[in-house]
Amino acid sequence: MDFHCAHKEPCMAATNSTATDWARRDARVVQHPHGDAADPDRLVLVRGKGSTLWDVEGREYIDAHAGAWLTQVGHGREELAKVAAEQMSALAHFTIMNDFANPPTIEFCEKLVERAPKNIAKVRLMGSGSEADDEALQLVRLFHYRRGQPQRTKILVLRGSYHGRTYGGAELAGGRPGIGEVPDGAIMLTPPWPYHAELFGGENLTDFCVRELEQAIARVGAENIAAMFGELVMGPAGMIPAPDDYWPRMVEVLRSHGILFVADEVVTAFGRAGAWYTSLDYHLAPDIIVLAKGIASGYVPLGALLLDGDVADVLDGASGGGSYAGHLMASAVASANIDIIERENLLEASRLRGAQFLEELRELLNLPVVGDVRGRGLMVGVELVSDKTTRQPLLDRFPNLKKDIDRFVRTRHGVILGIHGGTIALTPPLVITPREVSRVVDAVGDTLARVNIHTG
């Protein structure tokens, strides 16, 4: 295998003492999730505007990552900074436990509910997506408990899906190496991944998955199952949108067995996949919708649960939420974030730029390592394979390429992107311009054209 990467090209790697100093200090005290302590390189970012980022030495980058898929309205919004400063000066926070309330939180929750599927009535505010997923896991069990069915505890999930970093999240992932036993084993279902037709044995994908769901329910017993959790577009697994009939048909089966449906829209909502909530696109009425990320475009850390009216009634008064639930400053900023998305028509922008990405990326299907190009809104994926016939993941076979691709596209082309589960993820702020989209596609194309696999 040969990759003509940044190591052989004139590269903009950190040579200036400023970046090097920060990198050294960082390596001494900061542990990076998924980081490599042995790798001295750091990208030290200091400023952003729209879809542009600058590092500590003034180098400019196109942000096709959005800091974990969440900076919907783009970087450097002074309007949000002003809202935060004003609210913090007036009253930064006071709990909403018991009977305490505040106007920014009320207004923000009204905006969330107004845009949601009609069955949604109430909001529970949380600090992040993981916390919200964990809370949802507790609430679906509490729901059945309060209705006299305490044995309904089992959870259905899609294999390879991600529902946060807590122990509850680990339970939904079927456990994680090295953290001991998780409370209860989730029941794994086949992910709706059209590119991997081999998963469905030649059958229609949705027919296969619906049958598998019915069989799992028959095996475990509907009376033992609390809920199914599902990412409406699987993000961390590789930006995988399901066929249009998949979720409606799956949810119909769940309903017929009294099993709750939790839509994990931590990534998909607030325009990331082109709508306020992807549940609306599929005409779904989830019992719980899990939110985070784009909810405040990352200007403040925030998560939330939207609750169906009947579910909310049963759960009334349940504990949870924590000290920061209903944080005034966070609510005020998130409320202003919704106003910007609306005023600037960023849902439509997401759909248009997403369509442009797909059209331009399709050219790359000619490259030997590009197996599939897919997406919904600005959740765009380029799946890399080492063999187009077997669809074997390229990065399973050549794991070191992940860093080479990432570094080359960054240092040579000034583009920041993510690589997840063998797929290049293109998830820029929704304000990315058509010209920037083309530049990102050119950068990805040039980089992947240099991946030269000699399989002998």
| Residue ranges binding ligand PLP (CB under 6 A) | 128-130, 133, 162-165, 231, 235-236, 264, 266-267, 292, 303
Q: What is the DSSP letter of 222?
A: G
Cβ closer to ligand PLP: 23 or 426? 426
267 or 370, CB closer to ligand PLP? 267
The answer to whether the CB of 437 falls within 8 A of the CB of 360 is yes
- Name the residue with tokens 């030290």: 44
Which residue, 347, 333, 164, 350, is CA-closest to 262?
A: 164
Report in angstroms how near the CB of residue 230 gets to ligand PLP at its nearest: 10
Structure tokens at 239: 């930006």
360's tokens: 């331009």
Assess contact for 58 and 46: CB atoms under 8 A: no
**Smallest gap from residue 128 Cβ to ligand PLP (A):** 4
How is residue 290 written in tokens? 């899990």
Least CB distance to ligand PLP at residue 165 (A): 6
| Enclosing H/E stretch for 294 | none
CA–CA dist 307, 311 (Å, integer): 6
Contact predicate 232/268, CB 8 Å: yes
Select 191 or 235, whichever has its Cβ closest to ligand PLP: 235
- Secondary structure class of 420 (helix, strand, coil): strand
CB nearer ligand PLP, residue 165 or residue 439:
165
Q: How far apart are CA 160 and CA 158, in angstroms?
A: 6
Which residue's beta carbon is nearest to the bound ligand PLP? Answer: 129
115 vs 420, which CB is nearer to ligand PLP?
420
In the complex, what is the shortest distance from the CB of residue 294 to ligand PLP, in angstroms, rounded to a whole number? 11
CB of residue 166 to ligand PLP, shortest distance in Å:
8
Q: Residue 359: left if φ>0, alpha if ψ -120 to 50, beta else—which one? A: alpha
CB of 168 to ligand PLP, least distance (A): 11
**Spatial separation of the C-alpha atoms in residues 351 and 339, rounded to whole Å:** 18
Q: Identify which of residues 154 and 163 has a Cβ nearer to ligand PLP in the complex.
A: 163
CB of 69 to ligand PLP, least distance (A): 7
CB of 352 to ligand PLP, least distance (A): 24
Amino acid at 20: T
Note whether 247 and 230 are within 8 A (CB).
yes
Beta bridge partners of 288: 262, 307
- Cβ closest to ligand PLP, residue 77 vs residue 163: 163
- Min CB(138)–ligand PLP separation in Å: 15
CB closer to ligand PLP, 155 vs 369:
155
Q: How many CB atoms lie within 10 A of CB 30?
A: 10
Could you tell me which of 294, 272, 263, 321 has the C-alpha nearest to residue 117? 263
Complex with ligand PLP: residue 164 or 429, whichever CB lies closer: 164
Per-position DSSP letters for 147-185, written without gaps between them: TT-TT--EEEEETT----SSHHHHHHTT--TTS---SSP
Residue type, 131: E
Closer to ligand PLP by Cβ: residue 235 or 371: 235
CB of 236 to ligand PLP, least distance (A): 5
- Cα 225 to its chain centre, rounded Å, is 26
